[in-house]
Amino acid sequence: MSNPSQSDWFTEQFGDEGTAFGLEITARLHHEQTRYQTLDVYQTKTFGRLMVLDGCVMLTSRDNFLYHEMMSHPALFTHPHPRQVAIVGGGDCGTLREVLKHPGVERCTQIDIDERVTWASQQWFPELCESNDDPRASLLFDDGIAWIKNCEPGALDAVIIDSTDPVGPAEGLFAVDFYRDCLRALAPEGILVQQSESPLLHSQSIIRKIHQDMAAAGFEHQHTLTFPQPVYPSGWWSCTMASVKTPLTRFRERDVAEKSFATDYYNREIHLGALAQPEFMKRDLNS
């Protein structure tokens, strides 16, 4: 096997976990220092285009559908009739695209602090931005924590926290006070969704704390769904849903089976499978 030079590869190291992930690249398409972070876009040999923020993989052309579909469809098919949705983060617009596939959604407001991420997605990942001009879409470039705090009480049916890892600017999105503000902004049947890192690496730390913080904020129900995500640490990822009234382990199965739009990963059987939790997660979350 050949040993390509380091310059031909993008490698992200996860120091605390002692692991790394790499992709062979053929070109760097864009580089800039935005007001908030370093933004790079690469062309890779086998995963299409790659977006990197502050040296961390955000998405690739090849596998982003896994994340975007699982961050949106399970929650929206669990809610009985979602109409008003907010996405905090999500500047690449992939989750927005998936949310607006639901014909019953009347408004989806996306609040991301860094406009340049959306610009880069429009330039290099235009397929993710197909719904940006949908009249139901509202793209705001602002502080999502402040926006949720100032949101009219009970105005939203779903809040999707499509954030980076819980460090730096995103740390405030993984906090009891923020979850409490989300609860206030949600209608009684509303659902909160938080990207919740790797079940293999983080169930005892990040995921358990998310459950504890959501409960402390007043959410009676929490449930973590898992799904593959090859370019993220361990290749196995999760999102955690929370609600006060809406049961999270039941969903509108018939509506999923008869959905009017196409998906690449999500379907009824995938949703059912994602609800199942391995024994180690059950122990970690209940200890």
Is it the case that residue 206 has pLDDT exceeding 60? yes
Predicted structure pTM score: 0.95
Give the integer Cα–Cα distance in Å for 163 and 178: 13
The residue count of the chain comes to: 287
- Predicted pLDDT at 172: 74
Over residues 266-277, the pLDDT tens digits come to 999 999 999 999
- Predicted pLDDT at 1: 31
> Mind giving me the DSSP string for 135-148?
TTEEEE-S-HHHHH
Single-letter residue type at 1: M
- Annotated catalytic residue within 162, 181, 213, 284: 162
User: Averaged over 19-26, what is the pLDDT?
Assistant: 95
Enumerate domains of the chain plus CATH numbers: 6-60 (2.30.140.10), 64-286 (3.40.50.150)
**Beta strands 221-228; 236-243: pairing state:** antiparallel
Is it the case that residue 5 has pLDDT exceeding 80? no
Residue 143: active-site member? no
Phi/psi zone of residue 54: left (φ > 0), alpha (ψ -120 to 50 degrees), beta?
A: left
The whole-chain average pLDDT of the chain stands at 94
Residue 169 dihedral angles phi and psi, to the nearest 5°: -60, -25
Cα–Cα separations (whole angstroms), residue 140 to 5, 23, 87, 88, 162: 41, 32, 10, 10, 14
Residue 73 dihedral angles phi and psi, to the nearest 5°: -70, -40
Q: Dihedral of CA 132/138/142/147: which sign?
A: negative
Which tokens in the block code for residue 85?
């949705």
Give the integer Cα–Cα distance in Å for 181 and 178: 5
Give the integer Cα–Cα distance in Å for 170 and 155: 24
Over residues 228-282, the pLDDT tens digits come to 999 999 999 999 999 999 999 999 999 999 999 999 999 999 999 999 999 999 9
